[in-house]
Structure 1
Amino acid sequence: MDNNSDVRDTFEGKIKLSEEFTENLQKSIQDIIKREEYISHSIDVRKLSTGGNNFLGELYEIDVKGKTKDGEKETNIFLKRIIHNDDFKVYSIPEVYKKEAFVYKELGKIFNELQENANIPNDDRFKMVKSYDETSGEVIILENLARKGFKIMPRMDVMTIEFAKLSIEQLAKFHALSFVLQKMKKEYFDTRIKSIKQSFVYDDYWNEFVKNMYEVSTSKLDEVTKARIKRFFDTSLDKYPKYMNGLSSNIKCLCHGDFKMNNVLMKEKDGRVIEVIAIDYQQIYFGCPVIDLIYFIYAASDRDFRKQHLSYLKDRYYETLTSFLNYFSIGISTVYPREEFEECFRNSLDYALMYTLYMLPMFFLCDDVPDLSKDELLEMNISVDKRFYDRMQGIINDFIELGVI
């Protein structure tokens, strides 16, 4: 950086920008500082441990403090830099970074414009983290909302009902804005949204990977239950890609694709969640919105939570979708009739068992998290927290009751 830069001790020792960041990335940070009109400044850079929340990015916090013509100022930046791994076979890492850059640099601005034009009150809008123009397919550069009190709920916790309600409302608004684009900016929707495909590659390598995850998920079950789930698992290998490619429903919109608890920032007051903001748009795709909803609920709940709140949260999603579309004078029956929503939710519920068998172990990895920039997925030693097995048993009990297995 410049002579005013001050790089302090960090999580993994002293980071020197000239060694950690490429020349282009250094220039991007410098351009941000210049745009903020600092006369003099210091920079504090910290590399963050992902704690199992992010496998394919290096995370940094950058705090810029100094003087402007108007006085003292501080700029707080969060940075996610791509990890390159050409041998990562389940999806293209550059592709998913390009998707996220598209959301922050282009789509977010359109969403803001739509909400401004509809005069939606600030408190009722779909919210996004501020992105800097320097965001690209190599690096995502955002305002660091941790400095404003936002944090991520621990990934192995069962979510609170306040968190679930606010998160599902934001998800419904995200989906609603996709329906609005389809109605109000059809050419843009057809060329820029409808064409977004699911990133995962469903081939023999994928099948081997999810088989390994399935072995972990079922390792502590009794033999009778294992046999029942094995029959389900074998048929799921063909059905799961259909869910993820939007073939399970005639109703489609832009889906988040990874709407789980640790991809939602939250702010608390007096021990209660009062605000949430979704992050991490790397897995967006054009598909069935119900899949996002089911994914979120089952990734962050236990059996008791679902018994108490599943019906309420499903209703809350649909009510929010309805009321948000009303801002744009779009009747819910013209885009997603209630009967069709209910039928789709009912018919797609077995997706929850599929993806939890496939993916839930990754949410419960112990502290020794694999480095997916180097490690071979099929050779990973999966060690999960003991809480995983109770959570998985509860999901299996759900689907035994439903008659799915």
Structure 2
Amino acid sequence: MENKQSSKYNANYQRDKVSISEEFTQDLQNSIYEIVKKEDYITYDIDSRKISTGGNNFLGELYEINITGKSSVGPKHTSLFLKHIIYNDDFKVYSIPEVYNKEAFVYNTLSKIYDELQDKAGIPSEERFRMVKSYKETNDKAIILDNLNIKGFKTMPRFDVMSIEFAELSIKQLAKFHSLSFVLQSKNPEYFESKIKTVKQSFVYDDYWNELAKKMCDMSSSRMDEATKKKIDKLYLISLDKYPKYMNGLNSSIKCLVHGDYKMNNVLLKESDGRVTEVIPIDFQQIYYGCPIIDLIYFLYAASDRNFRKQHLYYLRDIYFESLTSFLDYFDVDPGFSREAFEKCFEDSLDYALMYTLYMLPWFFIAENVPDLAKDELLDTSLQVDERFYGRMQEIVDEFIELGIL
């Protein structure tokens, strides 16, 4: 679904008299014009295109905005990626404005802090934690970023099993993101205490969540045998207490600022000769102060199959730990936990992978009738998933039966 609108303006015109798109609020139009002004355009043409993600994004309307014209030094082109908030006061699992506020904090404030920490430590450009360039006009209603699509970045097809190259690079970036939280805690403990440790999990774990989780569990196990369904029903009852503890960092003493939704489609990638060469994490709406190992497990199970995990699960676990500790060496900062403690936490937390995939994997595999969360009620939504979901979910359940966890 695409929706194009294009208009030509002179930068000397009164901006409040011009409309970029009928779908844009006046505040959003003003933000775009501020970018035009700061980019030194004299004359310009704005082309806006609404993007359909086909199930990759539920909480915003996405646009590509291309500004083409002339500046004082000659021809110029700026391409923006815009994510604009949807509103639903009846959305019960968490506050949509709250998660936009979190992402605006990451791009407007935390990214600058992390850049300064890396600058002071002299981190080589190829070793740095990477983020998409954001614009100061980003706020709690709209996230405005450099559009990296025009520079060759893309996301993996969301039903695919990730490649090992993609997994390695993505996990190294995740480790660096977590590392910078430990560095900030060491270098500026007062700021960390007031601004990072206070970032809470967005999900509300109440009766509504319990009912939604049961619905998702039933869908995930719908094609399994009766004996397995009974095991999942028992796990569901245990999860009502245990899952919120995982998500609030209550099951581990290892804590930092975590991404909260680190999956394949929230990592941009660039390829060369068919191999992934660069990755950049995106979508920081679900950040919270919690256990980084939960972030790692979430990523490992979101886009892998049984064969991938048999070959690479513990190798990638080790890549994460080695990347975290080697990156912290640049700052002369200790993470505060040993490799043995890390590995024990990983083993003790593995059942989180089973719980969250039973609840969340159907959303990752939506094939048709993508829900409109500005209107739809989650409990009444009928999800149609890609057929590959059922095989992927069965493999996860079989794995945890063999491990003796289910």
Range into which the TM-score falls when normalised by the shorter chain: over 0.9
1:384 aligned partner: 385
1:17 paired with 2:20, answer: yes
* C-alpha distance in 2 between matches for 1:75 and 1:347: 48
Give distance in 2, aligned partners of 1:17 and 1:210: 41
Deviations 1:109-148 (A, max 9, x none): 0000000000000000000000100000000000000010
Find the residue that maps to 1:250 and give its secondary structure.
Answer: coil
Matched to 1:174, the amino acid is: F
Q: Which residue of 1 aligns with 2:61?
A: 58
Confirm or deny that 1:154 pairs with 2:157: yes
Alignment partner of 1:44: what SS? strand
> Could you tell me which residue of structure 2 aligns to residue 10 of structure 1?
none
Matched, 1:314 2:330: no
Shift of 1:247: 0.4
Please name the residue that 1:96 is paired with.
99
SS in 2 for 1:81: strand
Specify the code of the residue in structure 1 equivalent to 2:366: L
Instruction: Provide the rounded CA distance (Å) in 2 between the counterparts of 1:97 and 1:84.
Output: 11
Residue 37 (structure 1) aligns with: 40
For residues 324-403 of structure 1, the aligned pairs below 5 Å read: 324-332=327-335, 335-403=336-404
Offset, 1:230? 1.5
In the other structure, the counterpart of 1:247 is: 250
Offset at residue 392 of structure 1 (A):
0.3
**Aligned counterparts of 2:196 and 2:279: Cα–Cα separation in 1:** 25
Q: Which amino acid aligns with 1:214?
A: C
Cα 1:341–1:45 shift into 2, 3 Å = same
| Unaligned runs of at least 5 residues, structure 2 | 11-18
Give 1:229 shift: 1.8
1:228 corresponds to which residue?
231
Letter in 1 for 2:130: K
Deviation at 1:4, TM superposition (A): 2.5
| Contact 2:83–2:142 (CA under 8 A) maintained in structure 1 | yes
CA offsets, 1:179-207, max 9 Å, x none?
00110010110000000000000000000
Superposition map of 1:161-180 within 5 A: 161-180=164-183
- Once the two structures are TM-superposed, the CA of residue 397 in structure 1 deviates from its matched residue by 1.1
Q: How does 1:67-216 map to 2 (within 5 A)?
A: 67-216=70-219
User: What is the alpha-carbon distance in structure 2 between the residues aligned to residue 384 and residue 40 of structure 1?
Assistant: 47
How far apart, in 1, do the equivalents of 2:279 and 2:337 lie? 25
**2-side partners of 1:286 and 1:36: how far apart?**
36
Kept in 1, the 8 Å contact 2:6–2:46? The answer is no
What's the CA shift string for 1:340-377, capped at 9, x where partnerless? 10110000000000000000000001132111110000
- What's 2:14 paired with? none
Distance (whole Å) between structure 2 residues aligned to residue 114 and residue 366 of structure 1 = 42
For 1:72, give the aligned amino acid.
Answer: P
Shift of 1:71: 1.3
Three-state SS of the structure 1 residue aligned to 2:69 is strand
Q: CA deviation at 1:336?
A: 2.3
Task: Quickly say closer, same or farther: Cα 1:164–1:119, change in 2 above 3 A.
Answer: same
Alpha-carbon deviation of 1:5? 4.0
Q: Which residue is 1:219 aligned to?
A: 222
How far apart are residue 331 of structure 1 and its match?
Answer: 3.2
1:273 is aligned with what amino acid? V
Contact 2:9 2:43 in 1 (8 A): no
Secondary structure (helix, strand or coil) at the match of 1:266 reads: strand
For 2:15, the equivalent position in structure 1 comes to none
In the aligned structure 2, how far is the partner of 1:297 from the partner of 1:336? 22
**Partners of 2:7 and 2:25 in 1: how far apart?**
18
> What's the CA shift string for 1:56-96, capped at 9, x where partnerless?
10000000011112111110100000000000000000000
* Superposition deviation, residue 17 in structure 1: 2.6
4+ long deviations beyond 2 Å: 1-6
Number of equivalenced pairs: 394
Measure the CA separation in 1 of the matches of 2:28 and 2:9.
Answer: 15
**8 Å contact from structure 2 (residues 217, 358) kept in 1:** yes
Report the TM-score, using the length of structure 2 for normalisation: 0.95
**How far did residue 2 of structure 1 move?**
11
Give the C-alpha shift of residue 169 in structure 1: 0.2
Q: 2:283 aligns with which of 264, 280, 284?
A: 280
Instruction: Structure 1 unaligned segments of length 5 or more: list them.
Output: 7-15
How far the C-alpha of 1:154 sits from its partner, in A, is: 1.1
- Using structure 1 for the length normalisation, give the TM-score: 0.96
CA distance in 1, matches of 2:357, 2:8: 50
Q: 2-side partners of 1:5 and 1:262: how far apart?
A: 36
Paired with 1:84 and 1:32, the residues of 2 have a C-alpha distance of 25
In 2 relative to 1, CA 242–42 (structure 1 residues): closer, same or farther, beyond 3 Å?
same
Query: Residue type of the partner of 2:284?
Result: Y
Report the AA paired with residue 307 of structure 1. K
Identity %: 65
Amino acid at match of 1:121: P
- Any idea what SS the aligned residue of 2:243 has? helix
RMSD: 1.3
1:4 pairs, out of 5, 8, 11, with 8
Per mean C-alpha deviation after superposition, the further-off stretch among 219-228 and 161-170 is: 219-228
